[in-house]
Chain A
Amino acid sequence: MKRTIQFALLSSTMLAGAATAQTTLTIESWRNDDLQIWQQTIIPAFEAAHPDIKVVFSPSAPAEYNAVLNSKLDAGSAGDLITCRPFDASLELFNKGSLADLTDLPAMANFSDVAKSAWQTDDGSATFCVPMASVIHGFIYNKTAFEELGLTPPKTVDEFYSVLDAIKADGNYIPMAMGTADQWEAATMAYQNIGPTYWKGEEGRRALIAGEQKLTEEGWVEPFRQLARWKDYLGDGFEAQTYPDSQNLFTLGRAAIYPAGSWEIGVFTPQIDGAFEMGAFAPPVAAEGDTCYISDHTDIALGLNAASPNAEAARTFLEWTGSPEFATLYANALPGFFSLNSTPVEMTDPLAQDFVSWRSSCEPTIRSTYQILSRGTPNLENETWNASANVIRGTETPEAAAERLQSGLASWYEPQK
């Protein structure tokens, strides 16, 4: 009874501003970068086809999103549509009953099992968010600088370091733009970027979850050894260099290589504004001809607030989110966010095409720490941030870092005990 009153009050507040017969849907999201694109491209396209539904995109800053969303869900004031983080953060919301079951949504047929895996229960019986996009890791480089120095993008690890040595010897560019101040860059853009090559992508990731491999094994320690070598190629004072610092160093043409996530494409292109040309290369392999592995990480999806008073309209929107029309719109408005829809999407951005082409030449995997392994305390993902930053700064050896992560994981995860 109390809840009904709450919802009645809540919906009345939300409807207050809207026109009479319209339903207003509010989307909770952490993508405040995309506010304009939602307001100017995506929402108008939907509203044109559904004049009876009005959509409001209401993002909060990424760092606060989880805390803000959970508080609002607990109190019953969250929006109708919830942007879903992959794996456990959303699974927890589903288990608590905050996210509705969307298994029976017709649009789910447009997605492969792999695409849906990040937003399913462990046994795969229920799916609770409509997959929107994945992001791919790799390296973006300054093509103009490479041509000037007579360098070609490296394919193997040895070539990678000789390219870095050449840039360093020349002295005009910082070889690689990355810092450890924000920590997550070290884990996401470095460890999870080059790591799959050493732990053999899905094979290693699944073996770790099954308890057949340990983080102290070669495939998991070697990426840390690589990171320890990166230190010499980063800019002065990289310890205090933040993520925006790294982005600016690269877009201002001061650094030659940027360890990247594909989402940077949309950020970099307008900032560079034609001052130089960009290219991309995949994480290097040990020897020419080896299988390459890339992190093609399922990153973002859209779910339904189980307490939404506008569930019907929200389902209409979700159905549209799962359509090829949305996929084309989204992937082109936000180059670097790659559609998870089974229907192939035409993309116009050449750099985005480069990234997505690795899907056919390399073995894709997702970030190793995201599924199941970050459920306990200590949290493996957060520990990996800390360990990767420590290893790059040289304050912890690769072996010690791996040892620490393994003992932390083994302290709560049964298969690893």
Chain B
Amino acid sequence: MSIARNQGTLTRSIAAHAALLTWTVIALFPVFVIVINSVKSRRVIFADPLALPTAETFDLVGYQTVLAQGDFLLYFTNSMIVTMASLFFVLLFGAMAAFALSEYRFRGNLLMGLYLALGIMIPIRLGTVAILQMMVATGLVNTRTALVLVYTAQGLPLAIFILSEFMRNVSSDLKNAGRIDGLSEYTIFFRLVLPLVRPAMATVAVFTLIPIWNDLWFPLILAPGESVKTITLGSQVFIGQFVTNWNAVLAALSLAIVPVLVLYLIFSRHLIRGITAGAVK
């Protein structure tokens, strides 16, 4: 490699780092603002919102107010159970349906694909009253099951849409080889195809997880009870309750950010592994 070429690479890589770093700062700045202000005393929040907390201005009063009033560990567990269960069903059912649509030619295939995509186009919130009636009739109000059912239904259309795009690209040689070896269609799906679409599954997982974790509407309507409250609903109650007490609001917001951040960091490792696994050719 020539020297000139090396220099060019160096300049390029500095420019790339500069651009990426700029956007990273833009992306993280608001989170930083919330977190530093949540540990400052009230007057300093307003007087100098950008200042780092010092020994004098450090104040945990917001956290004390919030933690004294809600069982954040319980809310977190509820959110975790609901999100994980919904995610599992969305991925399993979604991948199965996407496989059927992309793998087999059968009458009504296109129609079925369109039917399953309808759900992307209407906000499920519109069906609230009918959904609530259904949950009341089956005694599922104030249970986590109700939320899991709704989120599974809500996540399926997009999951099927994305996964079937990816599954069309899975080489058919492999599947045909499997068929010649006498593998059942189920084995082909679970053993051969699923591992190959792992990057797509990771993508769908992240897209499905975020709206479920952050949803406020269905927990409010279907499961407002204290024992099944999700963390998003729990922190929203605090925001409403202390609308002028910014110490408490900022503390509640920070507490709402941390769990989803941890969850994302765990997933993001899988996401990266998934994407790179798919990229190995």
Contacts and interface: CB of A to CB of B under 8 A. Distances in A.
Given A6-B136, A77-B136, A248-B46, A60 B129 contact: no
A151 interface: no
B236 to A, nearest CB: 7
Interface string A328-351: 000000000000000000000000
Contacts of A252: 43, 46
Given A60-B220, A68-B220, A248-B46, A74 B132 contact: yes
A98 to B, nearest CB: 13
A61 B236 contact: yes
B275 to A, nearest CB: 38
A76 interface: yes
Interface in A160-185: none
B139 A62 contact: no
The interface residues of chain A, by DSSP majority, are classed as helix
Interface in A1-56: 2, 5-6, 9-10, 12-13, 17, 32-33, 35-36
A206 interface: no
A62 B240 contact: yes
Classify chain A: how many residues form its interface, as a range: 20 to 34
A278 to B, nearest CB: 15
B109 interface: no
A13 B46 contact: no
A402 to B, nearest CB: 32
A251 interface: yes
A10 B237 CA distance: 24
Contacts, number: 70
B71 to A, nearest CB: 14
Interface stretch (B15-23, B25-33, B151-159, B243-251): B243-251
Contacts of B243: 33, 243-244
Nearest to A61: B240
A53 to B, nearest CB: 19
A10 B245 contact: no
Residue among A9, A72, A251 with the most chain B CB within 10 A?
A: A72
B224 interface: yes
B276 interface: no
A68 B244 contact: no
A64 B220 contact: yes
A76 B237 contact: no
Interface in B127-149: 128-129, 132-133, 135-139, 141-142
B46 A77 contact: no
A58 B244 contact: no
B136 A68 contact: no
The interface residues of chain B, by DSSP majority, are classed as helix
B133 A75 contact: yes
B240 A72 contact: no
B241 interface: yes
A152 interface: no
B240 A32 contact: yes
A68 B129 contact: no
B227 interface: yes
Given A68-B221, A72-B132, A76-B133, A12 B139 contact: yes
Contacts of A35: 237, 241
A71 B128 contact: yes
B244 A251 contact: yes
A189 interface: no
A74 B245 CA distance: 35
Nearest to A74: B129
Contacts of A68: 220-221
Contact of A32 (B133, B141, B221, B237): B237
Interface string A222-265: 00000000000000000000011001100110000000000000
Given A71-B128, A76-B133, A9 B227 contact: no
B224 A75 contact: no
Contacts of A58: 224
A247 B133 contact: no
Nearest to A16: B142
Interface in B216-236: 220-221, 224, 227, 236
A267 interface: yes
Nearest to B142: A13
Contact of B141 (A13, A36, A267, A271): A13
A9 B134 CA distance: 12
A33 B241 contact: yes
Contacts of B129: 71, 74-75
Contacts of A60: 220, 224
Contacts of A6: 136-137
B132 A271 contact: no
B244 A10 contact: no
Contacts of B133: 74-76
Contacts of B227: 17
B129 to A, nearest CB: 5
A71 B244 contact: no
A75 B127 CA distance: 12
Contacts of A12: 139
Contacts of B138: 9
A13 B136 CA distance: 10
Contacts of B142: 13
Contacts of A243: 243
A134 to B, nearest CB: 22
A247 B237 CA distance: 19
Contacts of B43: 252
- 3 smallest CB-CB distances across A and B, nearest first, come from A75-B132, A9-B139, A61-B240
Given A68-B220, A77-B135, A244-B243, 6 more contacts: A9-B139, A61-B237, A71-B132, A71-B221, A244-B244, A252-B46
Interface of A: 2, 5-6, 9-10, 12-13, 17, 32-33, 35-36, 58-62, 64, 68, 71-72, 74-77, 243-244, 247-248, 251-252, 267, 271
5 contacts: A32-B240, A74-B132, A75-B132, A77-B141, A252-B43
